[in-house]
Structure 1
Amino acid sequence: MTETKPNPTARRGRIFPEIQWTPEQHAQWEAERQEFRKRSQVIFNRVKPELMQTHYNWYITIEPDSGEYFVNQDEMEGAFLAHEKYPGAKLYTFRINETGVCGTV
């Protein structure tokens, strides 16, 4: 009789190791994220009333450092246009409606 070799099992779980952040690093990341959103929100609030009349429920992608924004009916197309003009820049996308978000929680 021949001996059967056990098949090696595939490793399950994450391919990449998890990022281990200290509480201070996580707090700093969260603060930077909130500050970036606030800068984008200022631009969104400024143009929202005008855009709600003509582009309701479309998407606006904002590059807050330049103040430029891109309006498109398709969320991904607007982000693509923004990334073409500002490669590597951080962008923020809102939906043009009363809340600036899609759906409800």
Structure 2
Amino acid sequence: MTTQQPTKRPIRRGRIFPEYTIPPEELARSEAERKARYQRTRPVFERWRDELIADHYNWFMIIEPNSGDYFIDPDENLAVEKARQKYPRGNILVSFRINESGACGMI
């Protein structure tokens, strides 16, 4: 009886799809846009947080950055749905949690 040795496959290194690599300029632009959105929405969150924290602790607050409109709900999906009813055109929304830090999820 002969025992066959398993064939050793070469270890592949690198990206699975290198053609889908995002250029560094686009990554930097996207990061700058994200930070600008945050800078526009954080003051809205800060303005309403203390008032809302007593009755709506840990609810989600979805803010539309251009108008400053916000939508709250205990379920994040429902809050986003409320925002999408008023802003259906694919505006990027920013999520906060109505608590001391505003963080949504684990840090």
TM-score normalised per structure 1:
0.77
* Equivalent residue, structure 2, for 1:8: none
- Provide the C-alpha distance between the structure 2 equivalents of 1:36 and 1:85, rounded to a whole number of angstroms: 19
Question: 2-side partners of 1:45 and 1:20: how far apart?
Answer: 37
Alignment-mate amino acid for residue 19 of structure 1: Y
* 1:44-63 paired onto structure 2 within 5 Å: 44-63=45-64
After superposition, the Cα gap between the structure-2 partners of 1:102 and 1:93, relative to the gap in structure 1 and judged at 3 Å, is: closer
Q: Secondary structure at the match of 2:30?
A: helix
Corresponding residue number in structure 2 for 1:41:
42
Name stretches of at least 5 consecutive residues in structure 1 with no aligned partner. Answer: 1-13
Identity of aligned residues (%): 46
Q: Which amino acid aligns with 1:25?
A: E
Note the alpha carbon deviations across 1:47-103, whole angstroms, 9 max, x for none.
111011111111111012111100111110000110111012111111000011134
Q: 1:17 to 1:70 in 2, by over 3 A?
A: farther
Q: In structure 2, what residue type is equivalent to 1:23?
A: P
Distance 1:102 1:18, change over 3 A: farther
Residue of structure 2 equivalent to 1:75: 76
SS at match of 2:20: coil
1:89 aligns with 2:107: no
- In structure 1, what is the equivalent of residue 31 of structure 2? 30
Spell out structure 1 runs of 4+ moving beyond 6 A.
none
CA change 1:80–1:98 in 2 (3 A) is same
Question: What's the CA shift string for 1:17-37, capped at 9, x where partnerless?
Answer: 863222222111111111111
Q: Give the whole-Å Cα distance in 1 for the aligned partners of 2:34 and 2:46.
A: 18
Aligned-residue CA RMSD in angstroms? 1.9
The runs of 5 or more residues in structure 2 that have no matched partner are 1-15
